[in-house]
A and B are shown apart, each in its own frame.
Chain A
Amino acid sequence: MAVYLLKRLLGLLPTLLIVALLVFAFVHLLPGDPARMAAGVDAGPETVELVRRDLGLDRPLPEQFVRFFGHALQGDFGTSIRSKRPVATEIAERFGPTLWLTLAAMGWSVALGLVLGIVSAVWRNRWPDRLGMSLAVSGISFPSFALGMVLMQLFSVQLGWLPTVGADSWRHYILPSLTLGATVAAVMARFTRSSFIDILKEDYVRTARAKGLGEVSVVFKHSLRNALIPVVTMMGLQFGFLLGGSIVVEVVFNWPGMGRLLVDAVEMRDYPVIQALVLLFSLEFILINLVVDLLYAVINPTIRFH
Chain B
Amino acid sequence: MNTTPTIVEPAPSAVRTPAAEFWRKFKRQHVALVAGGFVLLLVLAATLAPWLVPFDAENFFDYDALNAAPSAKHWFGVDSLGRDIFSRILMGARISLAAGFISVAVGAVIGTLLGLLAGYYQGWWDRIVMRMSDVLFAFPGILLAIGIVAILGSGMVNVILAVAVFSVPAFARLVRGNVLSLKHQTYIEAVRSIGASDATIMLRHLLPGTVASAVVYLTMRIGTSIITAASLSFLGLGAQPPTPEWGAMLNEARADMLNAPHVALFPSLAIFVTVLAFNLLGDGLRDALDPKLDKY
Q: Indicate if B131 sits at the interface (CB-CB under 8 A).
A: yes
* Chain A neighbourhood of B124, CB < 8 A: none
- Contact segment of B84-92, B108-116, B226-234: B226-234
Q: Are A146 and B272 in contact (CB under 8 A)?
A: yes
Question: How many Å from the CB of A267 to the closest CB on chain B?
Answer: 7
Q: Indicate if A241 sits at the interface (CB-CB under 8 A).
A: yes
* Chain A neighbourhood of B268, CB < 8 A: 142-143, 146, 149-150
Q: Are A248 and B279 in contact (CB under 8 A)?
A: no
A203-251 interface (Cβ within 8 A of B) = 230, 234, 240-241, 243-245, 247-248, 251
Chain A residue, CB-CB nearest to B293: A194
Q: Indicate if B81 sits at the interface (CB-CB under 8 A).
A: no
Chain A residue, CB-CB nearest to B142: A244
**Do A145 and B247 form a contact, CB below 8 Å, given A15-B131, A194-B294?**
yes
* Chain B neighbourhood of A240, CB < 8 A: 137-138, 140
**Do A193 and B231 form a contact, CB below 8 Å, given A30-B151, A137-B283?**
no
Q: Are A285 and B140 in contact (CB under 8 A)?
A: yes
Question: How many Å from the CB of B85 to the closest CB on chain A?
Answer: 15
Query: Which secondary structure characterizes the binding site on chain A?
Result: helix
* Chain A neighbourhood of B153, CB < 8 A: 31
Give the distance in Å from the alpha carbon of A243 to the alpha carbon of B144 in the complex: 12
Question: How many Å from the CB of B23 to the closest CB on chain A?
Answer: 23
Q: Indicate if A29 sits at the interface (CB-CB under 8 A).
A: yes
Set B134, B138, B296: member contacting A190, Cβ < 8 A: B296
Give the distance in Å from the alpha carbon of A110 to the alpha carbon of B138 in the complex: 21
B126-166 interface (Cβ within 8 A of A) = 131, 134-135, 137-143, 146-147, 149-151, 153
Question: How many Å from the CB of B278 to the closest CB on chain A?
Answer: 8
Q: Indicate if A83 sits at the interface (CB-CB under 8 A).
A: no
Binary flags per residue of B203-218, CB closer than 8 Å to A gives 1, else 0: 0000000000000000
Say which size band chain A's interface belongs to.
35 or more
Q: Indicate if A278 sits at the interface (CB-CB under 8 A).
A: yes
- Contact segment of B41-49, B62-70, B178-186, B250-258: B250-258
* Chain B neighbourhood of A137, CB < 8 A: 276, 279-280, 283
Q: Are A18 and B135 in contact (CB under 8 A)?
A: yes
A-B contact count (CB 8 A): 134
A256-306 interface (Cβ within 8 A of B) = 262-263, 266-267, 269, 274, 278, 281-282, 285-286, 289
Give the distance in Å from the alpha carbon of A263 to the alpha carbon of B154 in the complex: 12
Q: Are A251 and B140 in contact (CB under 8 A)?
A: no
* Chain B neighbourhood of A149, CB < 8 A: 250, 254, 257, 264, 268
Question: How many Å from the CB of A68 to the closest CB on chain B?
Answer: 16
Q: Indicate if B295 sits at the interface (CB-CB under 8 A).
A: yes
Question: How many Å from the CB of A158 to the closest CB on chain B?
Answer: 9
Give the distance in Å from the alpha carbon of A267 to the alpha carbon of B251 in the complex: 15
* Chain B neighbourhood of A153, CB < 8 A: 257, 261, 264
Q: Are B272 and A14 in contact (CB under 8 A)?
A: no
Give the distance in Å from the alpha carbon of A73 to the alpha carbon of B78 in the complex: 53
Q: Are A191 and B131 in contact (CB under 8 A)?
A: no
Question: How many Å from the CB of B132 to the closest CB on chain A?
Answer: 8
Set A152, A157, A274, A286: member contacting B138, Cβ < 8 A: A286
Question: How many Å from the CB of B124 to the closest CB on chain A?
Answer: 14
**Do A191 and B138 form a contact, CB below 8 Å, given A142-B272, A143-B268, A143-B271?**
no
Q: Are B250 and A145 in contact (CB under 8 A)?
A: yes
* Chain A neighbourhood of B137, CB < 8 A: 240
Question: How many Å from the CB of A215 to the closest CB on chain B?
Answer: 23
Set A142, A187, A263: member contacting B296, Cβ < 8 A: A187
Chain A residue, CB-CB nearest to B233: A145
Question: How many Å from the CB of B232 to the closest CB on chain A?
Answer: 9
Chain A residue, CB-CB nearest to B139: A282
User: Which of B237, B276, B295, B296 counts the most A-chain CB atoms under 10 A from its CB?
Assistant: B296
Binary flags per residue of A143-165, CB closer than 8 Å to B gives 1, else 0: 11110011011000100000000
Give the distance in Å from the alpha carbon of A187 to the alpha carbon of B223 in the complex: 14
Q: Indicate if B235 sits at the interface (CB-CB under 8 A).
A: yes
Question: How many Å from the CB of B268 to the closest CB on chain A?
Answer: 4
Q: Indicate if A19 sits at the interface (CB-CB under 8 A).
A: yes
Question: How many Å from the CB of A177 to the closest CB on chain B?
Answer: 17
Chain B residue, CB-CB nearest to A17: B135
* Chain B neighbourhood of A278, CB < 8 A: 139, 143, 147
Set B140, B149, B247, B267: member contacting A266, Cβ < 8 A: B149
Question: How many Å from the CB of B11 to the closest CB on chain A?
Answer: 33
Q: Indicate if B236 sits at the interface (CB-CB under 8 A).
A: yes
Give the distance in Å from the alpha carbon of A31 to the alpha carbon of B283 in the complex: 42
* Chain B neighbourhood of A30, CB < 8 A: 150-151
* Chain B neighbourhood of A141, CB < 8 A: 223, 227, 272, 275-276, 279
**New A-B pairs, 10, CB < 8 Å, besides A266-B237, A285-B138:** A143-B247, A143-B268, A143-B272, A146-B271, A146-B272, A244-B140, A247-B142, A251-B235, A266-B149, A278-B143
Top 3 closest A-B pairs, CB basis? A244-B140, A194-B295, A146-B268
